Structure 1
Amino acid sequence: MRSGFNSIFLVIFLLLLDIHVFQAVRTMVYMSAPRVRNISYILYWSVSILCLVTVALLPYLKWETWPSHIRSYVITIIMCLVIAKLLVAVFLLIDDLRRGVVWLIRKFSSEKPVVAEGVVNGLTRSQFLNRLGLIAGGGLLGTLMYGFSNKYNYRVHKLKLAFKNLPASFKGMRIVQISDIHSGSFANREAVLKGIQLINSQKADLVLFTGDLVNDRADEMKHWMDVFSQIKAPMGVYSTLGNHDYGDYYPWPDKTPNGYSAMQHANLERLKSIHGELGWKLMMNENVILERNGERIALLGVENWSALKRFPRYGDLKRAYEGVSHIPFKILMSHDPTHWDAQIRPEFPDIALTLAGHTHGMQFGVEIPGLKWSPAQYFYKEWAGLYKSGDQHLYVNRGFGFLGYPGRVGVLPEITVIELA
């Protein structure tokens, strides 16, 4: 009942937004031929009404039970349209404020000055702002829609890192890092298989997965076991858990008032076993010693640990560190990059390399020579790529999969190859 009531207010808001933005559309085409105007109006209101009807009916369609990829597309398209229209509305608001100021000057000035509307490139200021708003909103909408085609467009990022404490036998060792698979979002088996083949083609000595195998539930992996079990490496495949792996965001029907759910607990235990069935060694606040020619390095893996209160903190780095203080070179897998500044650097300065994921680079941004930007940087100090402090390094993988928005713009899905030197 409450969700239906909320949807009514949302529909009213969206309808008012549609009416407001339509003024810009009408201004844009008012000098066009009648046929062009009619087509523009019909197209605008057909899409808008379809969006409004969908939003109004969502509470009654049990959309939570839809296949995840269909649900994500429907919700994302609606959100893209709303965001684009809100951007147009910003420009219209600027024009409304400008015209309001002009009206006040004319009304209260004793000299009754004549304030010219002004012309920019043959357009009045209002026409210019309306068109600029439509271009900005349409450009954003087109960009987000284009991003749908990039969600399986895997990119290999290669880097060579030198460490003074690295034993000679491990120089030249190749590590592949992947992160944030989110198997519940996948719908294209062939595309994902190409990503797995790309991973194996790197001929890594060691493969490390830094969490978020699923969105919420272990059964999301049911149709992907034979795909991800193909990932192999001579020194093994190791993994950790991410915040989504615990099922904390899923509405388990048996959850008690104190937050316990037997179904959620069983789901987590099943997910842990899946790692083993894939042939991966799940690191639960523990470590393993890797040997070459009698020389050793330590690999540590912790459960999810975040410095942000909205994410769970199950990791225990002190426990994972036990028994390896004498090993000169250590690699840590920790899903959330905020762990690095909050605990790893200040308390464990001998951990040379930390591998994280989690941010996805917000799946939206610009990464070109001389410019690296994403909304993720306003939430995370370290959000994508390599970071260094003294002798310590952090690498934040941009994610193999996707969540929520079924696409990528600028920040593409990543397979990281690190060569130790």
Structure 2
Amino acid sequence: MISRRGFLRLVGGSFFSMVSLGAYAVGIEPMLLTHVTRYSLTPPNWPAGLRLRIVALADIHACRPWMTPERIASLVRDANALQPDLIVLLGDYTASMRLVTDGVPASEWAQALSGLKAPLGVLSILGNHDWWSDPEAQKAGAGPVVARRALEHVGIPVLENDVVRLEKDGHGFWIAGLADQLAFLPSQDHDGFKGLDDLDGTLAKASDGAPVILLAHEPDIFPKVPRRVSLTLCGHTHGGQVRLFGYSPVVPSRFGNRFAYGHVVEENRNLIVSGGLGFSILPVRFGMRPEILSIELGPA
């Protein structure tokens, strides 16, 4: 039988462990040096002579003290140092979290992102928080949202149900950007969230047989993505922000852990979901460090 003194030591030790764990999850892991997560794959029907390096940043959620313009500028330097052919931004630049000391105006985070450089350029899409944080767009039921205007002001194109054809080493390929699937909050006009995404219409704009890389903020679109798409890149989930032994207790997806994080292959189709850089709801990360993706496509 455990003694009274032993019981008190156990309780005290457990309490200290819980406090320490909470302090780490809130104050340390979210601010750790950003991890570079690397993937290397050759999708089906990928051109043999096309070797492409894509660097992806997702879910910045600019705010103070967690994601300041200075920290974003540091992430930009880290991304450029990876020497990508192309940089893509996967949405959610704004923060809707209440536990912040101050917001970061769109002009400031966009200016920090303007330092991104790659030979084939920088392309972006929007996320749900970029729409939700714009009351005028919510009221009007249409954009452009503040985030889009800020990105375009610093020269970063925003793809909303649109495509861009790029070329490297004599091989063409398409980048398709999907409009957000949760753009409008529930209102008197409609129940539930309302999206602006048009997958079929977007892919129809890729007018030849060159490979397609799809940018979509939320990964829930993936079951509908046809095999023509070589790779789908998403953010939104933050890897659940808390992830233990490959499992995230809470994932903002109707598919739960199926598309929570990482490289998913289904029916010979490829999806990569970023764990993101910032956070929403709570400033907590545990087992899911902020990350930048570096993706090598094509044979080594």
- Structure-1-length-normalised TM-score: 0.60
Deviations 1:114-161 (A, max 9, x none): xxxxx13x359xx84x76566445433321212212223210001111
In the aligned structure 1, how far is the partner of 2:86 from the partner of 2:70? 24
Aligned match of 1:299: 175
Aligned match of 1:396: 273
In the aligned structure 1, how far is the partner of 2:151 from the partner of 2:171? 28
Q: Aligned match of 2:113 in 228, 234, 238?
A: 228
Q: Is the 8 A contact 1:386 1:394 kept in 2?
A: yes
Code of the aligned partner of 1:278: V
Q: Is the 8 A contact 1:304 1:312 kept in 2?
A: no
Structure 1 vs Structure 2: percent identity of aligned residues? 27
Report the CA distance shift for 1:141/1:338 in structure 2 as closer, same or farther (over 3 A). farther
In the aligned structure 2, how far is the partner of 1:137 from the partner of 1:123? 16
Q: Is the 8 A contact 2:43 2:270 kept in 1?
A: no
Q: How does 1:5-404 map to 2 (within 5 A)?
A: 119-120=1-2, 122-123=3-4, 128=7, 135-147=13-25, 148-153=27-32, 154-171=34-51, 173-185=52-64, 186=66, 188-215=68-95, 220-247=105-132, 252=135, 261-262=139-140, 268-305=144-181, 311-324=193-206, 326-341=208-223, 343-344=224-225, 348-366=226-244, 371-376=245-250, 379-404=256-281
Report the CA distance shift for 1:339/1:141 in structure 2 as closer, same or farther (over 3 A). farther
In the aligned structure 2, how far is the partner of 1:337 from the partner of 1:305? 10
Report the CA distance shift for 1:133/1:317 in structure 2 as closer, same or farther (over 3 A). farther
**Greater C-alpha Rg:** 1
SS of match in other structure, 1:373: coil
Aligned match of 2:100: none
Which structure would you say has the larger RCO, counting Cα contacts within 8 Å and 6 or more residues apart? 2
SS of match in other structure, 1:194: helix
Q: Is the 8 A contact 2:125 2:160 kept in 1?
A: yes
Code of the aligned partner of 1:191: R
Any unmatched runs of 5+ in structure 1? 1-118
In the aligned structure 2, how far is the partner of 1:373 from the partner of 1:226? 36
Report the CA distance shift for 1:188/1:304 in structure 2 as closer, same or farther (over 3 A). closer
What is the CA distance between 1:336 and its match in structure 2? 0.6
Deviations 1:271-329 (A, max 9, x none): 212111232111110111112344211111101126xx855422111111113263242
Any unmatched runs of 5+ in structure 2? 98-102, 183-190
Code of the aligned partner of 2:282: Y
What is the CA distance between 1:395 and its match in structure 2? 0.5
Q: Is the 8 A contact 1:158 1:418 kept in 2?
A: yes
SS of match in other structure, 2:63: helix
Aligned match of 1:412: 289
In the aligned structure 2, how far is the partner of 1:133 from the partner of 1:195? 41
SS of match in other structure, 1:393: strand
In the aligned structure 1, how far is the partner of 2:16 from the partner of 2:235? 32
Greater strand share, structure number: 2
In the aligned structure 1, how far is the partner of 2:130 from the partner of 2:68? 22
Code of the aligned partner of 2:48: A
Q: Is the 8 A contact 1:352 1:391 kept in 2?
A: no
Which stretch has the larger CA shift, 134-143 or 145-154?
134-143
The alignment of Structure 1 onto Structure 2 pairs a total of residues equal to 279
